[in-house]
Amino acid sequence: MHRDSDRNKLFGRRTAMLIGGKFFLLSTLTARLYYLQVVESDKYKTLAFENRINFRLLAPPRGRITDRAGRPLAYNQQNYRVLLVSENTESVEGTLNALEQIIDLGEKDRKRILRDVKRNRSFVPVTVRENLDWSQVSRIEVNTPDLPGVMIDVGESRYYPYAGEFAHVLGYVAPVSQKELTGDPLLELPGFRIGKAGIEKVHDLALRGAGGNSQVEVNAYGRVIRELERNEGLPGSEVRLTLDLELQRFAAEKISEHSASVVVMDIHSGEILTLMSSPSFDPNNFNQGLSNKQWNDLVSNPRSPLINKSIGGQYSPGSTFKMIVALAALERGVITPDSKFFCSGKMELGNATFHCWKKHGHGTLNCSDAITQSCDVFFYEIAKRIGVQRIAEMARRFGLGDALGIDLAGEHGGLIPSNKWKQETIGSSWQKGETVILGIGQGYILVTPLQLAVMTAQLVNGGIKLKPHLTKRLLSPDGAEDAVNAVAGESLNVSSANMKLVRDAMARVVNDPRGTTFRSRIKEADMMMGGKTGTVQVRRISKAERETGVLKNSELEWKDRDHALFVGFAPVDNPRYAISVVVEHGGGGSSVAAPIARDVLYEAQRLNILSTVSSPIEDADLNKKDGVENAKHA
């Protein structure tokens, strides 16, 4: 009996402990459930929502680029692309084989597609080809039953309607490379493109806009069930350029058969109206993806279509430099307007002979006559008297030898040589003979076509320094406008009388029967132009060749022919436009470059491009008065 009582007590204690343990565990579980469901409810609701709802970044539409009148030069157009959803086909390879009967798929494309199929989930579309035309889309749609997993999608792609005429200015867009990732999530979007060259690169952030977002509901596997909300973001700003569409296309046509450049600018504001380089390329190909053959054709072309010759080409200025040499001599008092020199056709210096382009010479000339007839001996003489340092100082004052800071990548600064430069670069001292040839714009000196245009504009605008620019204004989608105002620059501090002498002489170059460009003049009185030719040797002419007769450009290979140059302005009675034309290996400046400049300046005036643009320069009336006197003198 006692033993049964002890057993019952033991059983009772164990039962109580078991019940207590269960109660403790139940209490703990209840407390935990209360904590999760009540105290932490907001947190887990958010996590559940985030698992069910995905936020996706949307690429904004890229802003347009337009000319000065608002005509589009770069915009977005519908991009038809073919996609492949691998879960909807039994054989990706089989579908690609069938699709290849309709559109071209290279081996490189197939490898990329198969790689993307392996990386992505089976329901995620993979891009097969972009930029399909309507004919290709139609054929794919008709054959859809035989193309399981294939679908057509419509996106946006950058398009340049005037591809070759504006390629060097606009540049192009292309996919983001690994080294260009900055942490901006937009750059990580598949297929997102950024500006890689030209204005597209200069104003990439403004053109890019701000990304939007899409809120979609997904299942546990990440498949999209429906879109809940969509915000398209902010489109990129419109970049309005100073260029004129019609004039740019006209200039492109004039130099289409040459390796050449044309720059036209407003002499008062510094606005660039034309910046053309030939040959060119199609920027649409960069957007779509260049083939190896296309790339090799571009880089192996001896006429360098990828180089913007207007800002990146560097050439000896030849006789277009003579105005700078004349001003350097006049400003220093080395010569006066009445100083005269005799040209016999050559000049001796030590044991060297320097020839004039006119074999038997020009006779006796003053400074104005020497510019008009482009006498080399006259400028040999004054260069020898003033020296390289004074010539270099005047050249730099007019913007030669240094980059001008135009809002475009790839600008070169050229070279204005000096004694110090030669000593540091070549390791020898400057020679008098080098000063002599510098006097006619040859030797070590190098300038860009843009610098020549700016130099010319400053020669005829009263000596006001200019900052050339291509951007007129930025127009954001919300209506805000960021204008690039034309502000009068500082004076170059050159005597107005000496500037007038040079400008008068440039008018005579074209409109005086003795001038080197008389045959290329504009005959309409209110459109007359002034200017200066330049012909630059790219090979050495030996003494033996001079004795037997110098070979004509037409008798030489293209690469051995002279460069043809011309700088000019119009109209003579009230200058508004300045131009520079450089034709690589084109031959004579008067026979090749001057006619191009004449036609372009005539077209600029006919179009009346600057009719609504007022001059910011306070002494514009003085310039007009001087221009009228120039016309009378010519």
CATH number of the domain that residue 164 is part of: 3.90.1310.10
Query: By the 8 A CB rule, do 584 and 569 touch?
Result: no
Task: Find tokens 């005597």 and name the residue.
Answer: 495
Residue 63 DSSP label: P
pLDDT at 634: 29
Q: Calculate ∠ Cα 592-593-597, nearest 5°.
A: 130
Q: What is the CATH number of the domain that holds 509?
A: 3.40.710.10
Mean pLDDT across 543-571:
81
Of 260-274, 277-291, 507-521, give the lowest mean pLDDT range: 277-291
Mean pLDDT across 475-500:
81
Of the residues 187, 220, 241, the one at which a domain ends: 241
Of 45-54, 451-460, 580-589, give the lowest mean pLDDT range: 45-54
pLDDT at 112: 82
**Which pair of tokens denotes residue 397?**
């004052």
**Which pair of tokens denotes residue 583?**
């034709």
Taking Cα atoms as reference points, which of 458, 475, 487 lies closest to residue 567?
458
Of 298-307, 338-347, 437-446, 605-614, give the lowest mean pLDDT range: 605-614
Question: Exposed e or buried b for every residue in 201-215, given b needs 16+ CB within 10 A?
Answer: bbbbebbbbebbebe
**Which pair of tokens denotes residue 529?**
């132009």
The residues, ordered by sequence, that sit 6+ positions from 14 with a Cβ below 8 Å of its Cβ are none
- How sure is the predictor about 33, in pLDDT bands with cuts at 50, 70 and 90? confident
Q: What does the pLDDT look like over 374-397, one tens digit per residue?
A: 999 999 999 999 999 999 999 999
Mean pLDDT across 228-256:
89
503 in a domain, yes or no?
yes
| Same domain flag for 126 and 255 | no
Of the residues 241, 271, 297, the one at which a domain ends: 241
Half-sphere exposure of 10 (CA within 13 A, CB side): 6
Mean pLDDT across 411-429:
95
80 in a domain, yes or no?
yes
Indicate the angle between helix axes 496-511 and 322-331, nearest 10 degrees: 150
Q: How far is CA 217 from CA 48, 51, 227, in A?
A: 12, 9, 6
- Amino acid letter for position 589: G
423 in a domain, yes or no?
yes
Choice between 293 and 442, residue whose per-residue pLDDT is larger: 442
**Which pair of tokens denotes residue 178?**
């690994």
| CA–CA dist 131, 180 (Å, integer) | 24
H or E stretch covering 461: none
28 in a domain, yes or no?
no
| CA–CA dist 250, 10 (Å, integer) | 112
| CA–CA dist 331, 588 (Å, integer) | 30
Domain count, the chain: 2
| Same domain flag for 475 and 350 | yes
Choice between 519 and 229, residue whose per-residue pLDDT is larger: 519
Cβ burial, residue 396 (10 Å; 0-12/13-18/19+): middle
Taking Cα atoms as reference points, which of 384, 398, 389 lies closest to residue 418?
389
pLDDT at 327: 98
Query: By the 8 A CB rule, do 574 and 632 touch?
Result: no
SS3 letters across 550-572: CCCHHHCCHHHCCEEEEEEEECC
Mean pLDDT across 4-31:
71
Q: What does the pLDDT look like over 247-268, one tens digit per residue?
A: 999 999 999 999 999 999 999 9
Please check the confidence at residue 461 and state whether its pLDDT lies above 50.
yes
- How sure is the predictor about 7, in pLDDT bands with cuts at 50, 70 and 90? low
| CA–CA dist 218, 571 (Å, integer) | 69
Please check the confidence at residue 422 and state whether its pLDDT lies above 80.
yes
| CA–CA dist 442, 337 (Å, integer) | 24
Half-sphere exposure of 161 (CA within 13 A, CB side): 13
Of 99-103, 124-128, 310-314, 434-438, give the lowest mean pLDDT range: 124-128
Residue 599 DSSP label: H
Please check the confidence at residue 608 and state whether its pLDDT lies above 90.
yes
pLDDT at 621: 38
Of 132-146, 253-267, 403-417, 426-440, give the lowest mean pLDDT range: 132-146
Please check the confidence at residue 228 and state whether its pLDDT lies above 70.
no
| Same domain flag for 377 and 354 | yes
17 in a domain, yes or no?
no
Choice between 303 and 191, residue whose per-residue pLDDT is larger: 303
Mean pLDDT across 457-461:
97
Task: Find tokens 């450049």 and name the residue.
Answer: 261
pLDDT at 216: 54
| Same domain flag for 427 and 547 | yes
- Residue 347 region by backbone torsions, left for phi larger than 0, else alpha for psi between -120 and 50, else beta: beta
26 in a domain, yes or no?
no
Mean pLDDT across 601-611:
94
Of the residues 190, 214, 241, the one at which a domain ends: 241
Please check the confidence at residue 320 and state whether its pLDDT lies above 50.
yes
- Amino acid letter for position 460: V
| Same domain flag for 202 and 138 | yes
Cβ of 604: how many Cβ atoms within 10 Å?
25
Residue 320 DSSP label: G
Please check the confidence at residue 613 and state whether its pLDDT lies above 60.
no
| Same domain flag for 255 and 192 | no
Catalytic residue among 277, 310, 319, 520: 319
Taking Cα atoms as reference points, which of 531, 514, 613 lies closest to residue 571?
531
pLDDT at 614: 38
286 in a domain, yes or no?
no
Report the percentage of the chain scoring pLDDT > 90: 56
Query: By the 8 A CB rule, do 248 and 65 touch?
Result: no
Please check the confidence at residue 88 and state whether its pLDDT lies above 60.
yes
| CA–CA dist 285, 454 (Å, integer) | 33
| Same domain flag for 183 and 270 | no
29 in a domain, yes or no?
no
Query: By the 8 A CB rule, do 201 and 171 touch?
Result: yes
| Same domain flag for 217 and 250 | no
DSSP readout, 84-140?
Answer: E-GGG-S-HHHHHHHHTTTS---HHHHHHHHHHHHHS-TTS-EEEEEEE-HHHHHHH
Task: Find tokens 């002419």 and name the residue.
Answer: 541
Instruction: Please give the model's pTM, rounded to 2 decimal places.
Output: 0.81
Collapsing DSSP states into helix, strand and coil, what is residue 156? strand
Residue 180 DSSP label: G
Please check the confidence at residue 632 and state whether its pLDDT lies above 50.
no
Taking Cα atoms as reference points, which of 536, 530, 522 lies closest to residue 568?
530
| Same domain flag for 499 and 563 | yes
pLDDT at 229: 58
The residues pairing with 173 across neighbouring beta strands, listed in sequence order, are 195
Known active-site residue 429: no
> How high is the mean pLDDT of the chain?
85
| Same domain flag for 218 and 165 | yes
pLDDT at 321: 98
pLDDT at 352: 92
Per-range mean pLDDT, top range of 10-14, 162-166, 175-179: 162-166
pLDDT at 10: 63
Please check the confidence at residue 363 and state whether its pLDDT lies above 50.
yes
Please check the confidence at residue 319 and state whether its pLDDT lies above 90.
yes
The residues, ordered by sequence, that sit 6+ positions from 626 with a Cβ below 8 Å of its Cβ are 462, 496, 500, 503
| Same domain flag for 222 and 356 | no
Choice between 99 and 582, residue whose per-residue pLDDT is larger: 582
Mean pLDDT across 478-504:
83
- How sure is the predictor about 559, in pLDDT bands with cuts at 50, 70 and 90? confident
- What is the span of the domain harbouring residue 152? 56-241
pLDDT at 374: 97
Mean pLDDT across 35-60:
60
| Same domain flag for 357 and 476 | yes
